[in-house]
Structure 1
Amino acid sequence: MKVLRTPDERFSDLADFPFEPRYAEVTADGLPPLRMHYLDEGPADAAPVLLLHGEPTWSYLYRHMVPVLTAAGHRCVVPDLVGFGRSDKPADPADYSFARLVAWTRDLLFDQLDLRDITYFGQDWGALVGLRLVAADPNRYARVAIGNGGLPTGEGTPTEAFLNWQRFAATSPKFQIGRIVSGGTVGGLDDATIAAYDAPFPDETYMAGARTLPSLVPTSPDDPAHADNVAAWDVLRRFDKPFLCTFSDGDPITKGGERAFIGRIPGTEGQAHTTIEGGGHFLQEDRGPELAQVLVDFIAAT
């Protein structure tokens, strides 16, 4: 396996990102260890709030949420998925699979950090990976929140917006990641923020994960992840700890996605499900402090 590591100088002087990088070595399928990056902010003895990013972002996405959560006394753990941010990046698209992304992240969170009593929030691929981990060990979790994400099995009909995104990621001659993230927000991003999302990817060779992940989302029952996601749903349909939906009002890809959870997962009953107004797909960019306060209130209420 050829693995690329983004030079550290690419991450110097990023706007609004004063956090200390931390690293652990993770493995999957008996492959050589990879270095995985994460943030760990706030009181070390507090119960962790786990924030998982999606495609094609990294932990920078949560820079406006971490201070709100730590100010409320919470510990924040924010990994970069393998292939993104400061984590190692396998260079061959064939090195990525849904199962490996879950295994790498599980190794970090369960085996290396041994997180327990977790409050978890996931968006986009942060929901796909994170919900598989909730199903793998639900006793580690105190509560769950999902915004603009899901856990498809391939049996439903994907939105045309998502199918267009899959085609674009696979075929576009240029893959300008910072501008892609900007296009997934309501207000757009300034040049410094766009540069921060481009930072992990010095050139196209570093983008195998970012290009490949859209194709790994199940869109038919024949998908390799179908059986594992069905099994995860079997667990989630019995998950009775608090489960909150925080979808935004302006995301064409996941609009209405809360219907997959509310009423199907016992823990959704009686929760103050929230629509984040003025948020696009990357609601953390458009409404990060507001979303963080929703999580603070959710923790306090449950």
Structure 2
Amino acid sequence: MRILRTDEARFAGLPDYPFAPHFLDAEPGLRMHYVDEGPRHASPVLMLHGEPSWSYLYRHMIPLVADAGHRVLAPDLIGFGKSDKPASVEDYSYGRHLAWLANWLEGLNLTNITLVCQNWGSLLGLRLAAEHPQRFARIIVGNGMLPTGDTRVPAVFSIWKAFATHSPWFPVGRIVQLGTERTLSKAELTAYEAPFPAADFKAGARAFPKLVPIEPGTPDSLANRAAWQVLEKWKKPFITCFSSGDPITRGGDRYMQRRIPGAHGQPHITLRGGHFLQEDSPEDFARIIIDALRSEMAA
């Protein structure tokens, strides 16, 4: 496996991203980067990004949650951000991403985790929580789902999958902008492009759409169905925080609210924005997290 590493100079001076870098090997020779802010003794809030973003997506939320007294960890998935990047699309699989994240969790020995996840952060995070339930205290999902391939995918996803697989042009900044209602600044667009100085650095981003289980009976379809069997018995707090303008995940919040016991009676909310609600409504999204943790502390 040929491993690429983005030069740190590409991340110099990014707007609103002052966080010190931290690194841990997800497997020997494969380095995962993560943000780690707030008091180390506090229970961790794990913010998982998706496609084709990185921890920069959470830059407006991290200080708000950390300043409220919580430890916030935001890793860059392998292939993204400041993490190492295997150079071939074939180097990536759903199972490998899960193993890399599980190794990272175990390396830091994180417990009593509040999971905050969106997009592929949900596909990975919900599986991770179902497979390691003893490490997680609550789940907050924004614009995400755990698909099993048993329901039809939206047409917009099929178009996106074909584009990611076949297009010679893969403009990460513009892709993020398409999923965001507010207009990103030139510096913000540059920040989303920063991890990817050349085409072969984008293998992980190109791989993700093909890894979504869209048909029943595939290995990850079966594994996700098994994870749902755990989630259907999940009685810890489960909160949905979707946005009003996401054509891909629309309706997934109500589906999970009906199916997951821990969702009953929780303060579910719909926020203004597109697919990347961390860009459109970061303060409101952070408030949901802070309020959920405050209710635990009051109890």
Q: TM-score range by the shorter chain?
A: over 0.9
Letter in 1 for 2:235: D
Correspondent of 1:281 among 266, 275, 278: 275
What is the aligned-residue identity percentage?
52
Does 2:162 align with 1:188?
no
Does 2:77 align with 1:81?
yes
Q: Deviations over 1:254-286 (max 9, x none)?
A: 111113311211100100110012x10000011
Name the SS of the counterpart of 1:275 in structure 2. strand
Letter in 2 for 1:102: L
CA distance, structure 1, for counterparts of residue 138 and residue 74 of structure 2: 16
Correspondent of 2:239 among 220, 244, 263: 244
Listed as ranges, the gaps of 5+ residues in structure 2 are: none
Q: CA deviation at 1:216?
A: 0.3
Correspondent of 2:208 among 213, 220, 243: 213
Residue of structure 2 in register with 1:24 after alignment: 24
- Equivalent positions of 1:47-196 (< 5 A) are 47-109=43-105, 111-196=106-191
Correspondent of 2:33 among 33, 37, 44: 37
CA distance, structure 2, for counterparts of residue 301 and residue 280 of structure 1: 28
Residue of structure 1 in register with 2:42 after alignment: 46
Q: TM-score, normalised by structure 1?
A: 0.96
Letter in 2 for 1:179: R
Letter in 2 for 1:2: R
Worse overlay, 216-225 or 145-154: 216-225
Q: CA deviation at 1:165?
A: 0.9
Name the SS of the counterpart of 1:143 in structure 2. strand
Residue of structure 2 in register with 1:301 after alignment: 295
Paired residue total: 296
Does 2:218 align with 1:223?
yes
Q: CA deviation at 1:33?
A: 3.2
Letter in 2 for 1:292: A
Q: Deviations over 1:33-74 (max 9, x none)?
A: 310000100001000011000000000000000111011111
CA distance, structure 2, for counterparts of residue 203 and residue 2 of structure 1: 15
Q: CA deviation at 1:121?
A: 0.6
Name the SS of the counterpart of 1:49 in structure 2. strand
Q: Deviations over 1:11-47 (max 9, x none)?
A: 11101100000000112xxxx4310000100001000
Name the SS of the counterpart of 2:180 in structure 1. coil
Letter in 1 for 2:55: S
Letter in 2 for 1:296: I
- C-alpha RMSD of the superposition: 0.9
Worse overlay, 220-229 or 10-19: 220-229
Listed as ranges, the gaps of 5+ residues in structure 1 are: none
Name the SS of the counterpart of 2:40 in structure 1. coil
